[in-house]
Amino acid sequence: MNVNNLPVSQYINELYEKHRNNHEGQVATYIPELGRADPRRFAIAVATADGFVYEVGDTHHPFSIQSISKPLVYGLALEDRGLPYVLTRIGVEPSGDPFNSIAFDERHNRPFNPMVNAGAIAAVSMVAGTGHEARFTRILNIFERFTGREPKLDLAVYSSESATGHRNRAIAYLELNARMIEGDVDEHLSLYFRQCSLLVTARDLAIAGATLANDGLNPLTGKRALRREHVRAVLSVMSSCGMYDYAGEWQFDVGLPAKSGVSGGIMGVLPGQLGIGIYSPLLDPVGNSVRGVKVCEDLSRRFRLHFLEQRGTARTAIRRSYRGSNVRSKRMRTASDNRRLDTLGAEIEVLELQGDLLFTEAEKISRRVNEDIETATYFILDVERLFHVDPVAFDLLASVRAVLSARGKELIFAGPKTVSPIEESTTDMAEWFPSVDSALEAIEDRLLGVQDQDAIVALEEFDLLADMTPEQREALSASLYEQEFKRGDILVRIGAAPDRLFFMTRGRVNVSVPVGDDAVGYRVSTIDPGNIFGELALFGKPPRTADIVGATDGEVLVLLSEALEALRKDRPDIYNCLVMAVGRSLAERLGRANGAIRALAR
């Protein structure tokens, strides 16, 4: 699969180019190791909840995770102590104070939330296990569950953090003094400095984010990183307290639960949909990565990722898909055309869409088209069951169309243009058919190379009569009379006695059954020249089950019951041939109908 075909890939490449030359901000300097970060480093990774990773830039460059460790270790504390206990020890209110504040929620005697240092130290103090090594191993484990690989410790960063972490020591001792934490403070602090010094990449952060997005199940390893009920708690505090003093505006503008760290990383989560990992060490005055914030703002705005905006579920965006070899238009073609379509029809892929079409749904569709790009030529998107289509989804699909066009392939829309933004966005876009059936019909015509819709098919060209000798056809012909019809003429009425058989020689007729009060009826099929219809006349008594109406002007040859009966007596050879032909045709049509049922019932 060529990833560059994917519109999201293209877009994050553009984003990368757009922001790489922004050199605003400063690298963190509070420990020398962070100050040595290369300010040009820049990485963007986006991982979907089903485990597909988009990435650009230095996504494999390791950096110390710093504060982004806080939500992970908070999750571990929840696993070890349970939510009710943890809530008594660490609040969930945004503090409005800086991350290294020594202010506490005095009323409840606890840190305000687990995203400030005081709360994070309280969280790590709750990690279970006996002794430093055992507890550190548990921290390493949860990192591994989230990212899919065991993190390395940056010893230089750890030593530096440990040597200069006086304020964090003060916070820890204030907490011990106020009985907010218990146990060996030095051990807790050592673990805290270590959790901050673990090395991750932007790709790791995206996968950890996707794991949170996927209810705690790592989509790459398939293993659970965090219990479902704790995921909500972690996302909740990220949502209200994850971006330092910028949390309110972040929630308003970007609207993704996220956590940033002073090394320049940001991990973002769109619940149910995707994780974002960004690395760029230049920080703004609040302590967030400058490029990171801008990329998140752009991603959120461009793809409408704000949590109050997202509703669709990408997993069900494609309701069903099938190939034109299995499901046909309602056009009843000749037996030989049908056999050709058994093969040629595979060039058509129909994707039935449903629900709301937003970023994640369109992204999913783009991947599906890209997967099948080698094996199909015509991609029909059935939009009939869509409720709302976001313009961003159309932008992504326009990119998909461009990729297809470049390869001589087509993206085709089918369905009513009632979903409002569709009409505006697509005046110049793609072919548009009023229904899947009409799209299928037109593309089948193209695949079959149908030239002349007005061609006359003489009796000797009927596939069904291929077994007859010229003499037999001649004799049959003598029993038939020609009948011209106009568009709209009724050839057969529902409920009437079946007293004649038709040989279609020119034009087309529609078979339709009345639906409710609709006088026009539901089109069951359209019959092409070269077909026989009204075959119940051959097999007996039941009244007609559908109206047959001229779809165009045309001509049929009619065999009346009496003439049929005469043939049966005088020319049993011809009669027999006819019965065999129609029986075979019915059996073949039944076989195809059962194939369509299997494809549609999936």
Cβ of residue 94: shortest distance to a copy of itself, in angstroms?
Answer: 6
Establish whether 569 is a catalytic residue: no
Q: How far apart are CA 510 and CA 552, in angstroms?
A: 9
Q: Which is nearer to a copy of itself, 481 or 522 (CB)?
A: 522
Q: How far apart are CA 210 and CA 376, in angstroms?
A: 31
Q: Which is nearer to a copy of itself, 25 or 216 (CB)?
A: 216
**The total number of residues written for the chain in this structure:** 602
Q: Report the relative pairing of strands 331-332 and 518-527 from DSSP bridges.
A: parallel
Q: Out of 9, 48, 66, 113, which residue is the one contacting a copy of itself (CB under 8 A)? A: 113
Q: Report the relative pairing of strands 265-270 and 500-506 from DSSP bridges.
A: unpaired
Q: Out of 123, 235, 362, 412, which residue is the one contacting a copy of itself (CB under 8 A)? A: 235
Q: Is 444 in the site for a copy of itself (CB under 8 A)?
A: no
Binding mask 158-187 for a copy of itself (x = CB under 8 A): ------------------------------
Q: Out of 272, 419, 552, 571, which residue is the one contacting a copy of itself (CB under 8 A)? A: 272
The tokens of 218 are what?
A: 């790592």
Q: Is 134 in the site for a copy of itself (CB under 8 A)?
A: no
- Which residue type is seen at 357? L
Q: Out of 232, 417, 486, 493, which residue is the one contacting a copy of itself (CB under 8 A)? A: 232
Q: Is 587 in the site for a copy of itself (CB under 8 A)?
A: yes
Q: Out of 354, 370, 479, 531, which residue is the one contacting a copy of itself (CB under 8 A)? A: 354
Helix (H, G, I), strand (E, B), or coil: what is residue 492?
strand
Q: Is 380 in the site for a copy of itself (CB under 8 A)?
A: no
Q: Which is nearer to a copy of itself, 58 or 356 (CB)?
A: 356
Establish whether 74 is a catalytic residue: no
Q: How far apart are CA 282 and CA 263, in angstroms?
A: 8
Given the residues 192, 246, 279, 575, select the one marked as catalytic: 192
Q: Which is nearer to a copy of itself, 129 or 421 (CB)?
A: 421
Binding mask 278-317 for a copy of itself (x = CB under 8 A): ----------------------------xxxx-xxx-xx-
Q: Is 103 in the site for a copy of itself (CB under 8 A)?
A: no
Establish whether 70 is a catalytic residue: yes
- Residues of span 527-556 touching a copy of itself by CB under 8 A: 535-536, 538-540, 542, 545
Q: Is 393 in the site for a copy of itself (CB under 8 A)?
A: no
Q: How far apart are CA 292 and CA 16, in angstroms?
A: 10
Cβ of residue 576: shortest distance to a copy of itself, in angstroms?
Answer: 8
Given the residues 262, 350, 369, 403, select the one marked as catalytic: 262
Environment class of 516 (CB within 10 Å of its CB; exposed 0-12, middle 13-18, buried 19+): exposed
Q: Which residues of 177-203 are buried (b: 16+ CB within 10 A; e: fewer)?
A: eeebbeeebeebbbbbbbbbbbbbbbb
Cβ of residue 538: shortest distance to a copy of itself, in angstroms?
Answer: 6
Q: In Å, how far are 423, 424, 509 from 583, measured between CA atoms?
A: 47, 50, 21
Reference 190, options 115, 139, 141; nearest CA is: 139
Query: Residue 201: which residues within 8 A CB-CB, separation 6 or more?
Result: 43, 45, 59, 60, 61, 62, 63, 277, 279
Q: Is 601 in the site for a copy of itself (CB under 8 A)?
A: yes
Q: Is 114 in the site for a copy of itself (CB under 8 A)?
A: no
Q: How far apart are CA 405 and CA 401, in angstroms?
A: 6
| Alpha-helical runs (H) found in 372-516 | 391-406, 420-425, 436-448, 470-479
Q: Is 434 in the site for a copy of itself (CB under 8 A)?
A: no
Q: Is 92 in the site for a copy of itself (CB under 8 A)?
A: yes
Phi, psi of 135, deg, nearest 5? -70, -40
Q: How far apart are CA 585 and CA 388, in angstroms?
A: 43
Max intra-chain CA distance, the chain: 114
Site size for a copy of itself (CB under 8 A): 69
Binding interface with a copy of itself (CB under 8 A)? 91-94, 96, 113, 215, 231-233, 235-237, 239-240, 247-249, 251-252, 255, 257, 271-272, 306-309, 311-313, 315-316, 319, 327, 354-356, 385, 387-388, 522, 524, 535-536, 538-540, 542, 545, 572, 579-580, 582-584, 586-591, 593-594, 596-598, 600-601
Mind telling me the catalytic residues?
67, 70, 192, 244, 262
